[in-house]
Structure 1
Amino acid sequence: MPEVDPPAPTRPGEVVWLEPYPEALLEGVPGPEARYEHAEAISLAFVTALQVLPPRQLAVLVLRDVMGFHAAEVAEMLDSSVDSVKSALKRARARLQRGWPQAAEPPPASGSPSEQALVASFVRAYEAGDVDALIAMFTDDITVSMPPIPLEYQGRDAAARLFAGIFGSGRRVDLVPTRANGQPAFGAYLHGSTGIRHGSGLFVLTLAGDRICAFTRFDNDVLPSFGLPRSLPG
Structure 2
Amino acid sequence: MGDARAAGTAAEGLEGYRRELTGYCYRMLGSYAEAEDAVQETLVRAWRSIDRFEGRSALRSWVYRIATNVCLDALASAKRRALPMDLSGPSEGTAVPAPPQDAAVWVGPCPGGDPEAAATTGDSVRLAFIAALQHLPPRQRATLILRDVLGFSAREVADLHGSTVASANSALQRARTTLAARRQVTGGPGDDSLRRVLAERYAAAFSRYDMEELNMLLHVDATLCLPPYAKWMRGVPDIQAWLTGPAIGCLGSRLIPATANGSPAFGQYRPLPDGTGYVPWALQVVEFSGDGITGITAFRDTERLFPLFSLPDRLAADAPTGARA
TM-score, with structure 2 as normaliser: 0.61
Q: Aligned residues: percent identity?
A: 33
Match of residue 7, structure 1, among 86, 94, 101: 94
The AA in structure 1 aligned to 2:296 is F
| Structure 2: stretches of 5+ with no match in the other structure | 1-92, 98-103, 318-325
Greater mean alpha carbon deviation, residues 55-64 or residues 118-127: 55-64
Match of residue 188, structure 1, among 268, 272, 288: 268
Q: Tell me the secondary structure at the aligned position of residue 135 of structure 2.
A: coil
Partner of 1:3: none
Whole-Å separation in 2 of the counterparts to 1:212 and 1:28: 24
Task: Indicate the structure (1 or 2) with the bigger Cα radius of gyration.
Answer: 2
The alpha carbon displacement at 1:89 in A equals: 1.2
Match of residue 121, structure 1, among 201, 223, 239: 201
Residues 60-75 of structure 1: pairs in structure 2 closer than 5 A: 60-75=143-158
The AA in structure 1 aligned to 2:227 is P
Q: Tell me the secondary structure at the aligned position of residue 140 of structure 1.
A: strand
Task: Tell me, yes or no, if the aligned pair for 1:16 and 1:147 is still in contact at 8 Å.
Answer: no
Relative to its length, the structure with more strand (as a share) is: 1
> Number of paired residues?
216
Q: 1:119-146: CA deviations, max 9, x gaps?
A: 1110110011111111211111111101
1:26 aligns with 2:115: yes
Q: 1:60-96: CA deviations, max 9, x gaps?
A: 1122222332222222222222222221111111111
Q: Tell me the secondary structure at the aligned position of residue 203 of structure 1.
A: strand
Higher RCO, 1 or 2 (CA under 8 Å, sep at least 6)? 1
Whole-Å separation in 1 of the counterparts to 2:315 and 2:122: 30
The AA in structure 2 aligned to 1:77 is L
Q: Tell me the secondary structure at the aligned position of residue 92 of structure 1.
A: helix
Cα gap change, 1:147 to 1:168, in 2 (>3 Å): closer
1:209 aligns with 2:290: yes
Whole-Å separation in 2 of the counterparts to 1:114 and 1:231: 30
Partner of 1:147: 227
Greater mean alpha carbon deviation, residues 157-166 or residues 118-127: 157-166
Task: Tell me, yes or no, if the aligned pair for 2:113 and 2:125 is still in contact at 8 Å.
Answer: no
The alpha carbon displacement at 1:29 in A equals: 7.5
Partner of 2:279: 198
The alpha carbon displacement at 1:24 in A equals: 5.4
> Which 4+ runs in 1 deviate beyond 6 A?
none
Partner of 1:47: 130
Cα gap change, 1:64 to 1:30, in 2 (>3 Å): farther
Q: Tell me the secondary structure at the aligned position of residue 184 of structure 1.
A: strand
Task: Tell me, yes or no, if the aligned pair for 2:282 and 2:298 is still in contact at 8 Å.
Answer: yes
